[in-house]
Amino acid sequence: MNKAAPSHPPRKNKVFKQGRSKVTHDALIESGFTLVDQKDIESISISELARHAGYSVGAFYAQFRSKDEFFDALILNHLQKRTEIQSKLVAEQPLRELIDNLVANIVRYYWQHHLFWRAVLRRTLLDSEYWAPFRIHFKESSDRFIARIEQDIHRKLDKRERDNISFAFQTIMGLINISIVNQPGPVFIGQKQFVEELTRAFKLISEIDSLVAKA
């Protein structure tokens, strides 16, 4: 991947005209996540990606113009999957269990894919505009959660209540990002205590217990 700052945020996936093209694309994406969970994206060659997916280098270039564009596709796939998973959790979990399960799911995902996420964070340091789709994604996550709370307590939250919840989401992602980049401690992201403390922080900042008590 080029080390120069990316010139644009991740682009949307192309529209596939043939089923075979989508099969190839999906296989390459799946292999990309498998490999990037094992080592840094910079050390993964295009030939290795193609070989792992069972395709030729030519098949890779038929789908992506470069490894940068391939990484963009990984990011868009990540955003889509995280939206689907979090939407399901927020819609289906009992309200009194939602925070614990949601925070645990978020931490588990980003720790499992910490090499991928570290590569994303490096890119955003080179170009702040690269963070734009993530900013939208995290705001939508917060808004989705707020809508669920309002549904259960049968009223609209006021600005202060909404801001508290939004900042709680910002806080947990900030702490996850810091922990993935440099593991400052004393509690580390791979530990059970990390999830417990992050859940406690979310509840304190969002003041969710007082809202849930009214449900």
pLDDT by residue (tens digit) across 116-171? Answer: 999 999 999 888 888 999 999 999 999 999 999 999 999 999 999 999 999 999 99
Q: For position 7, what pLDDT does the model report? A: 45
Q: For position 96, what pLDDT does the model report? A: 87
**Do 208 and 187 share a structural domain?**
yes
**Do 103 and 163 share a structural domain?**
yes
Phi and psi (nearest 5°) for 44? -95, 120
Q: For position 55, what pLDDT does the model report? A: 96
pLDDT per residue as tens digits for the range 2-12:
444 444 566 55
Report if residue 5 sits inside a domain: no
Q: For position 214, what pLDDT does the model report? A: 65
Which residue matches tokens 């994303």?
120
Helix (H) or strand (E) holding 183: none
Single-letter code of the amino acid located at 180: I
Number of domains in the chain: 2
How distant is the alpha carbon of residue 60 from its chain centre? Answer: 25
**Do 126 and 59 share a structural domain?**
no
Q: What angle do CA 19, 25, 28 make, to 5 degrees?
A: 140
Question: What's the pTM value of the predicted model, to 2 decimals?
Answer: 0.86
**Do 192 and 123 share a structural domain?**
yes
Which residue matches tokens 């614990």?
100
Cα distances (angstroms) measured from residue 120 to each of 37, 64, 78, 125, 209:
13, 18, 11, 9, 33
Report if residue 185 sits inside a domain: yes
- From 7, 38, 64, the end of a domain falls on 64
Which residue from 7, 5, 9, 2 is spatially nearest to 125, judged by alpha carbons? 5
Q: How confident is the model at residue 97 (pLDDT cuts 50, 70, 90)?
A: very high
Domain that holds residue 36: 19-64
Which residue from 19, 15, 122 is spatially nearest to 71, judged by alpha carbons? 122
Sequence-distant (6+) residues with CB within 8 A of 27 are 53, 54, 55
Burial of 84 (C-beta count, 10 Å sphere; 0-12/13-18/19+): exposed
